[in-house]
Structure 1
Amino acid sequence: MDSPIVTDTTLIGVASEGTKLRLVNFTLAQIVFLAIFCFIMTLFGLLGNGTVLYSSVRYNAIRLDRVSLILVQNLAVADIIYTLCVILPQLITYVAGQWVLGNVYCFISAQISFIPGSANALTVLLITSYRLWLVTHPFSSTSKNEARIAVAITWVLASAGTIISLSYKSSSTFNPKNGKCTSEIYVIKEAEAIFKIAIGVIIMIPLLVITVENIILCAIAVKSSRMQENSKPNYKALVMVCALSGIFILSWVPYVIYSFMVSTNPDIPRAVELLSFHCIYINAFANPILYTLTNKRFGEYVKNLLLTICCFICRYEKVAKSHSSTNPTSTSNARSASAVEIENHQSVMPANLPVVEETL
């Protein structure tokens, strides 16, 4: 059995704002595994969703109708903010063994993180509902302005948890038991009921609605797969939405189960607690991978982008190695040659591609 990193259990549940506290009751194996997990989530959460935003704006690399594209971009923005507010500080904490990011980042991680997490859930609800609306009302249309208004309302609703927390002047404290900064709104009795209602409205109810809609869409997708060839584009769009909402549901199920178990039996195994919190992070990295697999246009963009990066690295190393022993300016030459290589591969996606719309 691995020995705990810190054996002083008196620190459990104790945290003063801005104080550097070490992780408590984490084994070395848990630290290593969770650090690797959070590193992967951070990498894909930032680079993957950043690629989604850049490629869709610069190259029209995602074949979707304009409304669906706005929703997908909004989901990517929410995932990036969530990664910066929650997953990245968790990764740094695991590596350092304690909270080292100071008071400001602790406040951001504890209070502001409610917003992107809730926006993620509400955006998935919008995507699923919009697709179901298109299936049941095939001749209807939604303008980009209406989509932008819906996105704005999403962020306003997502701010409810943070507004409630700040209105009760709850402080932000580091909890060494789970390695996260948390808001004290959870222990303020006067605000507990209001906060739970808000979280239920912006997280749990959308989760339930998404589950029901996902079942309906999956049934429609199965039916579409048995139809003629001209239904295949709609079938692919249905599969994409079903997978998107399915990943969201699966990532939240462990937390819902954990919350129910805690309410009936506080003595929950630590592994269950860690699993329930970290499964939510899967949303941040899974969506770009899903787009790569289900959207041919975006998949080609990612493939060409990776090839360009590989060519740049290989070219730079080759030129640097060939000049390192003879030319003192080898580094600058290597960079110049690599820059030329990048220019030759700059057409990862043509700048003026025709917009081929495919409803999400």
Structure 2
Amino acid sequence: MFNNSDGSSSSNDTLSLWHYDGEFLDKSHIQPLTTLGYLGTAVYLTILGSIATLGNGSVIAVYIRQKKFRSKPHNILILNLAVSDLGISIFGYPFCTASGYAGYWLFGDTVCQLYAFMCYTLSMSSLNTLVVIAGFRYISLCHPQYAYRLTHHVTAFSLIGVWVYSLLWTVPPLVGWSSYTYELFGTSCSIKWTVENTSEMSYVVGSCLFCYLLHLLLLGFFYYKVARRLRKLNLRGQHAMPAVRGRRDFLTSSRMQSESKATMMCFLMVILFMVAWTPYTVSSFWSVLVEEIPLAAATYPTMFAKSSCVFNPIIYAIAHKKFRTFLFQTCCPWLYRRVGLCKSNPYLEQQRKDRLRKQKGQIFCVQYTNGNVYIGPHGSRGCWSEDGSGDGGSSGRCHYHRASGSVSTLRVDNLARRPHAGNAPKTLHPKGRKYTVQAQVEPVPRTDNDSSSSEDSVHDLSCIDFTVL
């Protein structure tokens, strides 16, 4: 697959494949592969390009079609990752793949430089975006008092910073600080890693430090802090007693699981990106220290680095349940509506939730004991009880029972507001005194440290969408 290190071919056929038809770039360092070697790289890139285009295109389609996926600011960062990876598969793979089938670079020196600039910029954008995602996770979990500031505007400014920082390191080779040139095997283009003067040395060292090592340190710091925070919250949730009244001061178990899964997904994205690019970085820095590196040491890391844009869509599909649902709904809406027509069908469940949101309702907190049910506005005490002894301003007979899935039904009979300041009582529903409400609830289980009796213990429920049916 590889030729001798002096650049001579192992066969006359390989020599005849290489055409020195460039305009101004130096090609004396090129060591051509064998015919089989070029064919292998071309087939490999064809497979990678197809998977990357389909996967990242699906992510973008889900973002465009699904409003819920667009509602969260951090999903804009996921979109930017998909756009960057799709850009590599569109603007990078076709040129390198076609040249691999031909056995030489087909498109001239100018396109070679533009190709290297595009691939370098898009790869830097992906790495910068991973750092921003890690920073968002760090702020949300370690400094939740500032999480409300992570709005769409902040995310947009972060993305501007991502692209500006990328261009700060990818434009200089076009204007004289180092340069873009052919890779050692001749069918791809990149930074000129072999240095001949101080200017080229400074750029290569700066790129390794500020375009890789700095990002690695930031990612390590962010995820180390996030892991410690999640561990503390997990321990606190195991030992803390649920709050009888008011808000709980710790994350619920489902929230913990959600945060842990999201963090693990982001961390896995970082790990795979680093695994893909670390060999290439080592190979590039090696070329700075020695005059010539083996052809295999330049080819394999380059091909492996090109796989980085394939990993993210696969991670989303495996680790993100909602993304799988959105993807299925986007790509196969007709089939999605007809698969699993039962109570557990996610499409029917989502449609039911959408109908509930369209009705008038408020956010409430629910608490219940063995004999009482307390329903109150978000952040307040319970306002209704079975025996009329609650802290709020209304009373009535409430019956709680579990329904299938995560939706619980509260049957409320003869529920009316108490008079306030001489006002007459008002029923909560004009059609009668009996009605049913449905709500998304999440009970917090009692811990072993709960010393209260079973008769007085209150199982606190998370905030819910309280809707009169």
Normalised by the size of structure 2, how large is the TM-score?
0.57
Match of 2:214 in 1: 205
Amino-acid identity (%): 20
Match of 2:399 in 1: none
Match of 2:94 in 1: 88
CA offsets 1:177-201 (integer angstroms, 9 cap, x no match): 2421345696563631442355232
In 1: Cα distance, 2:234 partner to 2:93 partner:
38
Match of 1:318 in 2: none
- The reply on whether 1:290 has 2:296 as its aligned counterpart is no
CA offsets 1:8-34 (integer angstroms, 9 cap, x no match): 39979x773389x9x853234433432
- Structure-to-structure mapping, 1:1-360, within 5 angstroms: 6-8=13-15, 16-17=22-23, 24-60=31-67, 62=69, 66-102=72-108, 105-140=111-146, 141=148, 142-168=150-176, 173-175=181-183, 177-182=185-190, 189=197, 191-196=199-204, 198-199=206-207, 200-218=209-227, 229-230=253-254, 231-266=256-291, 268-303=293-328
1:121–1:206 Cα contact (<8 Å) kept: yes
Letter in 2 for 1:74: N
Q: How far has the Cα of 1:171 moved from its partner? A: 6.9
Match of 1:337 in 2: none
Letter in 2 for 1:41: L
In 2: Cα distance, 1:267 partner to 1:194 partner:
19
Between 1 and 2, higher relative CO (CA 8 Å, sep ≥ 6) is seen in 1
Letter in 1 for 2:33: F
1:218–1:242 Cα contact (<8 Å) kept: no
1:160–1:198 Cα contact (<8 Å) kept: no
In 1: Cα distance, 2:199 partner to 2:176 partner:
7
- Secondary structure of residue in 2 paired with 1:159: helix
- Secondary structure of residue in 1 paired with 2:145: coil
In 2: Cα distance, 1:209 partner to 1:52 partner:
26
Letter in 1 for 2:325: E
- Secondary structure of residue in 1 paired with 2:299: helix
Q: How far has the Cα of 1:91 moved from its partner? A: 1.3
Q: How far has the Cα of 1:290 moved from its partner? A: 0.8
- Secondary structure of residue in 1 paired with 2:259: helix
Q: How far has the Cα of 1:245 moved from its partner? A: 1.2
Q: How far has the Cα of 1:260 moved from its partner? A: 4.1
In 2: Cα distance, 1:5 partner to 1:76 partner:
43
- Secondary structure of residue in 2 paired with 1:25: coil
Distance 1:310 1:285, change over 3 A: farther
Distance 1:210 1:193, change over 3 A: same
Distance 1:31 1:215, change over 3 A: farther
Q: How far has the Cα of 1:304 moved from its partner? A: 5.1
Distance 1:197 1:269, change over 3 A: closer
2:193–2:284 Cα contact (<8 Å) kept: no
CA offsets 1:302-350 (integer angstroms, 9 cap, x no match): 3456657999xxxxxxxxxxxxxxxxxxxxxxxxxxxxxxxxxxxxx99
Letter in 1 for 2:318: L
Match of 1:314 in 2: none
Q: Which is helix-richer, 1 or 2?
A: 1
Letter in 2 for 1:240: M
2:31–2:295 Cα contact (<8 Å) kept: no
Q: How far has the Cα of 1:111 moved from its partner? A: 2.8
Distance 1:15 1:251, change over 3 A: farther
In 2: Cα distance, 1:267 partner to 1:167 partner:
26
Letter in 1 for 2:214: I
In 2: Cα distance, 1:270 partner to 1:215 partner:
37
Q: How far has the Cα of 1:138 moved from its partner? A: 1.9
Larger radius of gyration: 2
Q: Which is strand-richer, 1 or 2?
A: 2
Instruction: Structure 1: state its 5+ residue gaps.
Output: 312-348, 355-360
- Secondary structure of residue in 1 paired with 2:223: helix
Instruction: Structure 2: state its 5+ residue gaps.
Output: 3-9, 238-251, 337-349, 358-469
